[in-house]
Structures are given as structure tokens and as C-alpha cells.
Amino acid sequence: MRAEQLTNPVAYHGEGPVWSPAWGGLRWVDMLTGDILSLGADGSISRRNVGKIAAAIRPRRAGGAVIALERGFALEDADGTLRALPEIWSDPSIRMNDGGCDPQGRFYCGSMEYKQKQGAASLYRLDPDGAVTTVLQNVTISNGIDWSPDGSLAYYVDTAAERIDVFDYDAERGLTSRRVLVSIPKEFGRPDGLTVDSGGGVWVAMARGGAVRRYTLKGELDEVIEVAASKVTACTFGGPLLDDLFITTSREGIEPGDDPLAGSLFVAKPGVRGMPVREFAG
């Protein structure tokens, strides 16, 4: 299967697509410019700058959004007002990178060192009351995280480890019993953002691999969607029936004239449906 190009190259480092009817469809981030992009019903694209970095975004149950910034979080109210929460750290060499909400509506987001220093990053959890907990340490490039349809499993990528991990999950204990779902050979690229479909399949974007790959609960590859850009960063299901797979791409580090569609948004119809986005409860 091959994805279709949906937009021109509109992002420098497109990431983190999220579909929510609450905000009228698809949003994603141009992470390193600090912009949140929105796709209009007519195909138009609007931008909103929220700071130096816009790492990840999820809708809030009360309206608006929760946003991961360079060194912490911000809350967007239903009227568009943006309120930054206290920074989690002060080290300017480390930034937020990717995240998602658990079944209880807590927002998990992980970091990375700008130069990708090994073990310098962590995975954090923002609770609805504003409390922040460090969930994992000694991470290098904290990337995609999502939960199984029944909420009993969580899938997670530390890109530098070149694999997808799976945790047991419950509301009280959080992430436990970490193990490897699948290790991905270097020749297929580097695992980046991921999403889980309604059947429990795990779809992972392959940076430097020009593809999205689906793995079963047993870690078996059963679908590959080719993308006409090398640095595929993230994917999510959306559309009225949640049967469109939206795919973001990046131009970061690519020379002018090379990889001409890099930075575009792509879409595919893989024949399965996703799950409604889990909203932040704060």
C-alpha cells in the first residue's frame, strides 16, 4: 500500500498528528518552529505559534488542549487562551519530544537531548491536577506512546533502542513489566511515533525508512504503507469513521532539493479503524 500526498511540504519537522471532532478535525505540530497546524475542511492550513518548541498536543475534556512545550506543559482553554505551567527542568540542552494520554486522561510526554545524548532524557506524566511525575529515566529519544483498546497494555518507543516496547498498565501502578514487542533492523529505518488501531495493531512511523509498519500483538509485521518521503515521523487515525491514517513527515537535516515531498502530510486507508483520541482530563 502507498500513502497519498495530502498537502504540500508545509512543515519543517511535522510530528504528532491528532484527530479530534472537538477542534474540528486534524491538528499536528511543526515541532522545531513551535507551531501547531490545523487542517481545514477545505484543505486549508492554519498555524499558531506557542513558543520555541511545540512537541505534542492532545484535546482537553473541558475544551482546548494540553500542549508539551520545550521544557514543560501548557494548557489551552476553550477560548484559545494559553497558560504555561511551571517548567519541569532548566537545562537548555533538553526538550520535550512526543506524548499521549492514558485511559484515565493523564498526559505522558517524553524528552530528548538536542544532540541525542544517550540516557539524558525521561518520560513524564502530567496529572489533571497539574502534578508532574517522572515515569521513566535513562531514555535517549522518547517517542511514540499509546495504549491498547482495553487499556491493559501500553506501547512505547525509545528511538535509539530501535524497538517497540510493551508495558502492562493499570491506573494505580501505571507502566510495569516492560518487555520488547519487536526489534526493528536498521535497514528499515528508526521507529518514531506510533498509534494503535481498534483491533490492537500497532502502527509505527519509520524515520529514514519512508514507511509506516503495522505489528500484531505478537510482534509480527503484517502491513507496510510506503510514504514518498524518507523521514516519516508519526501517524494517527482520523476522519469521520476513523479509517484514514494521517502520516506526518520531516525535512529536518535534509538538503534543499533533496527528498522534495518531505514535510508534507500524507494519508492512507489501510482497511482498519482507529480509536477515538484519549483526552486530557485536566
What residues are labeled active site? 192
Instruction: Give residue 263's region: left, alpha or beta (phi > 0; psi -120 to 50).
Output: left
DSSP for 169-197, please give it.
Answer: EETTTEEEEEEEEEE--GGG-EEEEEEEB
Whole-angstrom distance, CA of residue 231 vs CA of residue 209: 7
Residue with cell 506524548: 99
56-59 β-sheet, strand order: 56-59, 65-68, 73-76, 82-84
The answer to whether residues 16 and 98 touch, using CB atoms and an 8 Å cutoff, is yes
**What does the DSSP 8-state code read for residue 14?**
E
